[in-house]
Amino acid sequence: MEDKLLVGVDLGGTSIKLAVLDWEGRILLQWEVLTDKEHEGRDIPVQIAQSIHNKLEETGLEKNRIVGIGVGAPGPADPETGVISEAVNLGWKSAFPLGSILMETLSLPVLVDNDANCAALGEMWRGAGKGALDLVCVTLGTGVGGGVITGGKIVHGKGGAAGEIGHIISLPDGGAPCNCGKNGCLETIASATGVVRLAHELLLKNDQVCELSEIFEDRGFVTAKDVFDAARNKDALAAIVVEKVSFHLGIALANIANTLNPDKIVIGGGVSRAGDILFAPLRDHFTRYAFPRVARSTALSPAMLGNDAGVIGAGMLIREQLSNL
């Protein structure tokens, strides 16, 4: 299968990332298109198919070298049927048969899974989890995504919603409302949105001048990056936010690690780019709350693939299936 190629698709609410990969998961071609959310997202499969077709035409790559397509989608997925049960970001309010439409349009094997699961596979295959078979991947972006892999296989759960790490309850009483309809989920604290919310809450109560308050005064808002940059400069208010985020994330990861004792918990997404200012207190809290043997054997590692984890993992997904045929 060495000369055969795979296509990985990372379907997001804003853009669709696509890549042609070789059999080892190396990216040969990579491009991105804006997601067509008109008509409640019904045109998305055709858009994906057309975009792949156009790219092959443009580059002269022979279509018959592509042996399969993997797709990561932002919602609970059933890889058996290729159905995404719901994807609010795409306009899919009910079950959407993404896999079967794509298979029909492209006349190629297609496998669909949740985007966070694909990112976890990508990191396992070519990123921070290389060589690990038991891996948990946490993505700290606009929301908090999670993917769990044990023995090299994605854990899907009965309803396809395993690994919803972002919806672990961190604050059972009085937590902020979450997109899922509950309150106090980890996502309301450890996502970029959560970091900003915590900072704004403190800034509105604060009457002292500091780096963060000056940005807030100037611009009317702060970003998660502003918070971590200010914390690096020893800004007291930013430090309170970072402490809160790393505390709740540390407890959640310790509980996950106590359950699974994976080789690694890989942490990616925009917030993870904060680096040591987040990872140092996070490791402290993790070590404090994890079972001692778990704390010694499960490592917390920053993700390595950035935005490419999704397309690489989607390629891995279809490669696995084709290898098992």
Interface residues toward Zn ion, by CB under 5 A: 167, 178, 180, 182, 185
* Beta pairing partners, 83: 78
Of the pair 42, 182, the CB lying nearest Zn ion is at 182
Rounded Cα gap, residues 134 and 313, in angstroms: 15
* Distance of closest approach, residue 185 Cβ to Zn ion, in angstroms: 3
Q: Which of helix, strand or coil describes residue 278?
A: helix
d(CA 35, CA 70): 17
- Name the residue nearer to Zn ion (CB basis): 185 or 260: 185
Cβ distance to Zn ion smaller for residue 182 or 273: 182
Q: How many residues does the chain have?
A: 325
Backbone angles phi, psi at 31, to 5 degrees: -155, 175
Taking the complex as a whole, the smallest distance from the CB of residue 175 to Zn ion amounts, in Å, to 9
Element containing residue 144 per DSSP (H, E): strand 144-150
Q: Which residues pair with 139 in a beta bridge?
A: 145, 268
Nearer to Zn ion, 167 or 248 (CB): 167
* Nearer of residues 151 and 181 to Zn ion, judged by Cβ: 181
**DSSP-based three-state secondary structure for 3:** coil
For residue 14, what is the DSSP state?
Answer: S
Least gap, CB of 161 to Zn ion (angstroms) = 12
CB of 99 to Zn ion, least distance (A): 26
* Shorter beta-carbon distance to Zn ion: residue 178 or 318: 178
Rg of the chain, C-alpha, whole Å: 20
Provide the minimum distance between the beta carbon of 192 and Zn ion in the complex, in angstroms, as a whole number. 15
Minimum Å gap between C-beta 300 and Zn ion is 22
C-beta closer to Zn ion: residue 55 or 167 = 167
- DSSP H or E stretch at residue 6: strand 5-11
Q: Check residue 290 and report its DSSP letter.
A: S
Distance CA 299, CA 286 (A): 10
Closest to 73 (Cα-Cα) out of 110, 107, 109: 110
Q: CB 167 → Zn ion: shortest distance, Å?
A: 4
* Closest C-alpha to 238, from 220, 216, 219: 216
Neighbours of 261 (CB within 10 A): 14
